[in-house]
Every structure is written in structure tokens, then in C-alpha cells.
Amino acid sequence: MKGNIDVSAHRRAVEFADGVYWVGALDPTLRNFDIILTTANGTTYNSYLVKGSEGVAVIDTVKENFSDEFFARLESEVDYSDIKVIVLNHLEPDHSGALPELMRRAPQAQLYISQRATSMLKALLHAEEGLQYTTVKTGDSVSLGDRTLSFLHTPFLHWPDTQCTFVEEEGVLFSGDVFGCHYCDKRLFNDLVGDFRFSFDYYYAHIMRPFKKHVMDALKLIEPLQLRQIAPTHGPILRERPRRYVTHYRELSTSSLSRGIGDDDQSMIIFYMSSYGNTARMAEAISEGGSTVEGVRVSLYDLQGGETDPFVDLIEEADALLVGSPTINGDAVKPGWDLLSSLAVVNLKGKLGAAFGSFGWSGEAVRMIEDRMRGLKMHIPRQGVRVKLIPTEEELEECRSFGREIAEVLVGKSQTKEVIDFADLV
């Protein structure tokens, strides 16, 4: 199906494999998605139909306020009484918005979701009892006669509930948000739409990157498939050379940095900001202490320039992150918060974190940074070092010990002592 396709000109289903149809909706005026993503030309909510000799399956739905378009496309191809199966690969509202109404219109249909989706389903439908659904995992399948839907358990892409569904006979993978992007083009297919590479990578960077490990696990299931097309829930359907996108996902999920240090070395990165050089002196002393521990490579960076984006890759690869900030007006200074907020796109769970800083009056910055690190699920093995104004030689020695102790935790020479905050107890 090449040539001029314009799915905005009608509200009919679009067949792209034998018995497999797009029945989604276009949202070309959207400019911001989930607050965190911008989009220059909107998005699509892709829903699909699979027609088998013994019934029809609907794979995912659309955002609730696009239901009319979805139901019109659905009705152009099937009767509600034909629908035997509904699969929700992901229950975020942009894909489950029309589900309650679809279930009302096709009450005979069996709903298939992942095990982890059950609590979300109950919240979505506001029902604890009487809900009929089947949970599925890798290896499970459902037959539509001459079409078979096989399920792949691919959690955390990018919610706990996510899964993929594969139509074996047609080689079509319904991948959910994976391989998707916010790119609305009424020509619908990757070989016809405009150049969406920037959008594809942007989507990966903001949605999938924190879950790289889970992407790699999913690729182990996806790569062996006899894949002919990928049908994600947003953006173009990848019918031309779909494997390129699988390969690209593997590249994106592999470290972009050469570690530059031996694989056995642990990387400890220290960032600091300093008004009068006092926090800088502490940072240098902590670095000296950390560097005395064999097997640890320490790196020291001044954030005074305020640029944080270049450091995100580095921090993602690091084993320990230390942040030093003075306290000004009862707070850590802005470059520190910029750095810490830029880390929402990477997974820091379990990495070591620590804070330090000089202060004049109250010294809240260190505890605030530690709290943010806990929020990022980092592990804080030692309570941070705070120094009033100019560090004495004794206090600098304390900083050296602090750096050494963090480094020793990294190489397993020192016991981890989780610092308990009162905030953790409530």
C-alpha cells in the first residue's frame, strides 16, 4: 500500500497486513505530552484490529477524548459482536481511555492483560469485584482461528504493566510505547511520513532510557521473532525495514561512553559549587581521600559553568555520585538542583550517593541533596559532611576520611551503613 495515504480524510480502518488494521486516532495539535515531552506536530494514539477466521481482536484503545474517531474506524470494519478478544498491552490513559466504553459495547469480549496490569485495571474501571479478565505472560497465546496472538512479558517499558503482542502468521509486533514516538503524520507508515528520526530518539531518551536494562531484556524476546512490521502505540507504523529500529534500540540502550577505565575500577564522581572556595576545598580533600583506595577512579568537576546535560551520560555510568553545595538562603544552589533534576532520565537505583558543603548559618543544603538522592533511589552510605565557613585542617582531614570511606564501600572494603533520616520513618 504505497502512494497517497491520508487517514485524516476518512474515519475508516486501514489494513496494513492481511487481516490486520490500524483503527487509531490522530492528535495533530498536541504540543506537550505528560508535561515532560514536547512535540512539534502532535501524536497519534494507535489502536489495531486483527481479524481471524474465528473472531476479532482489538489491540489497545485510544485516549478517551479521541474515542469517537476510534469507534468510527472500528465500526467501518467489524461489528461489536465479532470482537472476541481485547488486548491491553499498557493501561496508561492514552491507550486505555476508550476501554470502558469498548467493554460496554462488546461485553462478550475477553480482556487480556499482564499480571501487573490488574491493579491499574481495577483503578481504571473503579471495580474491585466482578471484573472478567485473563492475565498472560511470555509463552501464552490466544487463537483467533487462522490468526494467533502471542504475548511477550516486557515490563517497565515504561510502566510495570507493559507487554507486547505478536501476530505470528503476519509477523506484526504490537509493541506498545516501545519503538513509538510522538509524531503525527496522516501518511501513517514509516516509508511515507516525514523524517521522524529526531522524534524517535527524543522519545527513547525521555521515556525508555531510565529503563535500559528492561529494554535489553525485551530485545532478547523481540530479536528472535520473524518480524515483518512493528506497530507501536504512537507514531508511524514501522513496515519498512523494522529490524533497523530494533537494532537502533539496542544501540541506544548500550552505553554511549567508553568507560575509559578498567572494567574492574569503580567510578566515583564528585561535583561541587563554591562561592568562596570553601566547598571547593572540601571537594578536593574528599577526592584525595577517595583516590587512596585501590580500584576506585575519582573525577572532580566544578559546576560553576552551570551546564549539566553533558554530565548525564557520565553519571549514568558512574558507581558513586557526590554533590557538594554551599547553603544560600536555606537551600542548595541552582546548578546542583539542575544537575539532580536532569537525572530523572537515567536509572540511578542502588548507586552510592553522598553530599557535602560549607555553610554560614544553617547548612540545609547537604540534607536536601541527600533527600533528593534518596528520591532517586540512591543509597546513602554515610551522612554528609558539613563545615561552617572555612574548613580547618582537621575538618579537611574529616573530608579525606569521608571520601576514603565512600570509596571503600564501593570496593566492598567497608560496610554499608544506610543513613536513616527521620523522613524515612514516616
What φ, ψ does residue 80 adopt, rounded to 5°?
-60, -30
DSSP E strands in 9-70: the ranges are: 14-17, 20-22, 25-27, 32-33, 37-38, 43-45, 48-52, 55-59
Q: Tell me if 233 contacts ligand FEO by CB under 6 A.
A: yes
**DSSP letter (8 states) at residue 208:** I
* Smallest gap from residue 91 Cβ to ligand FEO (A): 9
* DSSP per residue, 121-166: HHHHHT-SSS---EEE-TT-EEE-SS-EEEEEE---SSSTT-EEEE
Point out which span in 90-98, 222-230, 251-259, 357-365 binds ligand FEO (CB under 6 A). 90-98
**DSSP H/E element including 112:** strand 110-114
How far CA 61 is from CA of 5, 155, 164, 379, 399, in Å, comes to: 22, 19, 14, 39, 56
Nearer to ligand FEO, 97 or 324 (CB): 97
Point out which span in 87-95, 135-143, 261-269, 299-307 binds ligand FEO (CB under 6 A). 87-95
156 Rama sector, left if φ>0, alpha if ψ -120 to 50, beta otherwise: left
Q: Tell me if 92 contacts ligand FEO by CB under 6 A.
A: yes
Point out which span in 91-99, 193-201, 362-370, 371-379 binds ligand FEO (CB under 6 A). 91-99
Q: Please tell me the distance from the alpha carbon of residue 49 to that of residue 72, in angstroms, as a whole number.
A: 13
Q: What is the CA radius of gyration of the chain?
A: 26
Residues 157-196 contacting ligand FEO, CB under 6 A: 158-159, 177
Nearer to ligand FEO, 37 or 368 (CB): 37
Nearer to ligand FEO, 111 or 283 (CB): 111
* Smallest gap from residue 45 Cβ to ligand FEO (A): 8
Nearer to ligand FEO, 93 or 295 (CB): 93
When binding is defined by CB under 6 A, the residue of 95, 153, 206, 209 that contacts ligand FEO is 95
Q: Tell me if 234 contacts ligand FEO by CB under 6 A.
A: yes
Q: Tell me if 60 contacts ligand FEO by CB under 6 A.
A: no
Q: Please tell me the distance from the alpha carbon of residue 378 to that of residue 309, in angstroms, as a whole number.
A: 20
* Smallest gap from residue 203 Cβ to ligand FEO (A): 10
Q: Tell me if 370 contacts ligand FEO by CB under 6 A.
A: no
| Chain residues that interact with ligand FEO, rule: CB under 6 A | 90, 92, 94-95, 158-159, 177, 233-234
